Structure 1
């Protein structure tokens, strides 16, 4: 299981996004950003998504 706290990464987001893979966490983060009005996901934002995604201990 992986998670990303989107506070500080996506403006206005206060969720913790969890999924079974890092790719799914990032996909959900992109959807969340779009729902919050982010029109363009920049390469820098994608890097922030990757850096903020962590693996939870089993």
Structure 2
């Protein structure tokens, strides 16, 4: 299980995104960003999303 607290990364986001794969967390984060009004994710924002996605212990 992987997790991303998108607060402070995606403007206006207060969610913690969890999914079985890192790729799914990333996909949901991009979707959340678009729903929050972010039309284009910058390379820096994408880097931060990757850095803050953590694997949870089983």
Superposed displacement of residue 18, structure 1: 0.4
Aligned alpha-carbon RMSD (Å): 0.5
Which aligned runs of 4 or more in structure 1 are off by greater than 4 angstroms? none
Q: How does 1:8-47 map to 2 (within 5 A)?
A: 8-47=8-47
- 1:48 is displaced (CA, Å) by 0.6
- Following superposition, the deviation at residue 26 of structure 1 comes to 0.6
Gaps of 5+ in 2: none
CA–CA distance in 1 between the matches of 2:23 and 2:44?
Answer: 16
Describe the superposition over 1:20-53 as per-residue Cα deviations: whole angstroms up to 9, x where unpaired. 1111101100000000000101111110100010
Aligned length: 58
